[in-house]
Amino acid sequence: MAYMDCCDWAKCTLCGECLMKCPVMGMDEAEAKKEFGLLLKGEAALRVFGECTLCFRCNTYCPEGLRPYELILQRISESQPRKPAMLGYFINGLPAPNLFQEMYASLSFDEQQIIRRWSSAPEPAEDVLFVGCVGKTVCYDIENSRVLQDLPKYGPSDVCCGELAYRGGVWENYSRVVERLLARLEKVQAERLICYCGSCYNFLGHILPKVYGKSLPFRLVSLYQWLLEKVKGGELEVKKPLGYRAAIHESCYVSELGHDFQEALRELYRIAGVEVMELEHNRDESLSCGAASIARRWSLFDLLREQNKRYREVKASGNRDMALNCPGCFLTLAPTSWLHGIRVHYMVEELLRAFGDDINTPLARRLPRFAWLLTKRAPLALKKIEPPFPGLQAR
């Protein structure tokens, strides 16, 4: 199986809509038809290979209900027989040391004990909170959250929703990661799985059934939607209004999650006391943080170029604050945002604070440790190997 196997490409009429409506490339009709025709034939589509940010948006434009993103990712991956060894270091869920395992090992004894507890399936419950790779780095605040205190937590240290392997174009690694996760989730008895991370919500609730062809036995709900549900049910109220203006930067997968998720973000932010500002490109047209675009050519300059586009839109809105719903966007933008005089807010933490939680270990505090671990493994960025990644050898 491969990315493009999720669709019957014989249904493609070569209308070119997906590339014509792309907020990044915006091709004319003739060029769009030519480029997509090359993709269908497995040939090099030079403009797509040179400019696509791999952001999912094109999937919303196909009138036949096909998934152009997966075809593009397939062809780009095929054009790269060797990939940076650093990609393997980012992939959690494989039986080898990686960035996240080394992050967890650097946490305090109490934090490591929390993650160990989360590695066992909780008692059967209506709702269970699934905590992904990044969320576990701030496990202390999640475990001690008053807002989340009634939610049993589950998040084994060695499982992942598969996003980094998927977006990196290594299908075989994605499959291995997902199969491990599915085996673990068989032990969970719940009606709903509440996803702390938006990426987990997308990959478990949308990519897994639509592309991988498997579904989970419970309903998937984003933590943002769960919080809004509790507010509307009178179970949560704002105790510490946030009181600032912020431009909403939506993650590149928000187009997969649809209108209800997009509006839930805005409604929740407003309830918490944020004056919401819209960027020029928003909702299904939103531009990416640049992280996924690295997989096109494995160039840091591609990432920085996409970030600069977004920063210009924030400044054009008359604002200097960005509200981010995605941990990947936060980890990507936080190290460079200050250079542009822009403040980034990781909204899961901001909302929990607004509803009365104490945030003692914000994700921003983990940035130096992430940077240090990546610096130690810097030589991997220069080494290229043939995927799938077997994993790094322990030192």
Question: Residues 262-275: pLDDT tens digits?
Answer: 999 999 999 999 99
Whether 392 shows a pLDDT value over 60: the answer reads no
Least confident range of 93-97, 143-147, 325-329: 93-97
Q: Rounded distance, CA 51 to CA 49, Å?
A: 6
The C-alpha angle 146, 148, 151, rounded to 5 degrees, equals: 130
Share above pLDDT 90 across residues of the chain, in percent, rounded to a whole number: 90
Question: Residues 151-190: pLDDT tens digits?
Answer: 999 999 999 999 999 999 999 999 999 999 999 999 999 9
Question: Nearest-CA neighbor of 256 among 84, 56, 88, 97?
Answer: 56
pLDDT confidence of residue 387: 87
Name the DSSP class of 312.
Answer: H
Which carries the bigger pLDDT value, residue 374 or residue 381? 374
Give the type of residue at 353: R
Least confident range of 51-55, 76-80, 192-196, 379-383: 379-383
Read off the pLDDT of each residue in 117-140 and give the average, rounded to a whole number. 98
Q: How far apart are the first and last CA of the chain?
A: 34
Question: Nearest-CA neighbor of 269 among 364, 346, 365, 333?
Answer: 346
Q: Rounded distance, CA 80 to CA 76, Å?
A: 7
pLDDT confidence of residue 395: 34
Read off the pLDDT of each residue in 232-257 and give the average, rounded to a whole number. 96
Six-digit token string for 338: 């200050």
Whether 391 shows a pLDDT value over 60: the answer reads no
Strands 83-84 and 153-154, sheet pairing: unpaired
pLDDT confidence of residue 101: 96
Average pLDDT, the chain: 95
pLDDT-based confidence at residue 382 (cuts at 50, 70, 90) = confident
Question: Residues 55-82: pLDDT tens digits?
Answer: 999 999 999 999 999 999 999 999 998 9
Question: Residues 127-136: pLDDT tens digits?
Answer: 999 999 999 9
Residues of 115-124 as b/e, b for ≥16 C-beta within 10 angstroms? beebeebbee
Give the type of residue at 89: Y
The domains found in the chain, sorted by start residue, are: 3-78 (no CATH), 83-233+361-377 (no CATH), 244-354 (3.40.50)
Share above pLDDT 70 across residues of the chain, in percent, rounded to a whole number: 98
